[in-house]
Amino acid sequence: MNRKRPGADPITVTVFVFPGVRLLDVTGPIEVFTTANEFGGRYRVRIASEDGSAVMSSAGTRLGADLSVADVREPLDVLVVPGGPEWESLIKDDALLDVVRSLNEKSRCTASVCTGAFLLAAAGLLNGRRAATHWRHSRQLAHRYPAVRVDPDAIFVRDGKMMTSAGVSAGIDLSLALVEEHYGAEVARSVAKDMVVFMQRPGGQSQFSVRARTSHTTQDVLRRLLDAVAEDPGANHTLAAMASRAGISVRHVTRLFHEEVGTTPARYVEQVRLEAAQALLETSDDSMPLIARRTGFGSPESLRRAFVRNLGVTPAAFRASFRTTHAGERDLVPAVLPPRPVHDRPVTESAAN
């Protein structure tokens, strides 16, 4: 989509709503586009429902509609298709899928939020295309629609005129990318600052807390070890130190991590430290030596090696990823590659010391 010039016609954004739609899937993009109008953007945002009536969201909030689908006549600049918790029922609604197809035919860009990707896929609009959805449902999307090339870690993806995004708040990321594409990085950056969100969220969906992703364990001793690493990544977390704190053998610690976490203690510690370093790069102006010390990597070179090995970029490049949504790239995907699975990397115990 070409960059809009000041004074050009407004860009029309139509958000399609239906009973059970997730509220933030709707309001997140609307907030981005309407806020952009305060900083030089020109968007005309409207909500369309099948018959023009208000619908009840999954949160129990009633959403009014500006027009019915039948009233949508002119070409749409952007069509937003949100998702809903009951997506399994929605994809069986043939009438709803027909509406999605008809709206897509009129749109120049069709963008889904979260499980809205299932509606696009069920309507046959993602066949042969790359797509993203909430990490929890990515396997389901790939299984149900094998013609769709699902990227399980992308925050958002663009393939042709179709854009799909990950869970809920990722609709904000996608919308910011469109604002940058339409009106430039400065406008998008102003919107991000005003909404107190990232201009470009680092990493993919795998960024979500290592500790939160760790399977629940009934082993109290292991839970205390995991919490200790998360609370102070820069502390001494060698295998011997963990065994000493827990009052168990090194062999027992290794076995607990293998059985309950699915990786080695060293690999787990590195992942937590990497996450902590990412957070400091995102939120502070601390120097690389200070970040390396605070997160347990010790030196900037060790920090750099961990970033390159896990993310494919240097810490400096990671920090720089906040300056743009990378909307001008051919495929809109996260600027930073996600970490490879921990079991695929030959990390030695000394690397986590």
Active-site residue list = 114
Distance CA 300, CA 7 (A): 48
Residues 45, 160, 151: CA angle, nearest 5 degrees: 100
What DSSP character marks residue 165?
Answer: E
Rounded Cα gap, residues 315 and 306, in angstroms: 9
CA–CA distance, 311 with 315 (Å, rounded to integer): 9
Scored b (16 or more CB within 10 A) or e, 42-59 reads ebebebbbbeeeebebbe
Whether 179 contacts 332, CB under 8 Å: no
Length of the chain: 353
* Burial (CB count within 10 angstroms: exposed 0-12, middle 13-18, buried 19+), residue 177: buried
Helix (H) or strand (E) holding 149: strand 149-150
Q: Does the CA dihedral 324-328-329-330 come out positive or negative? A: positive
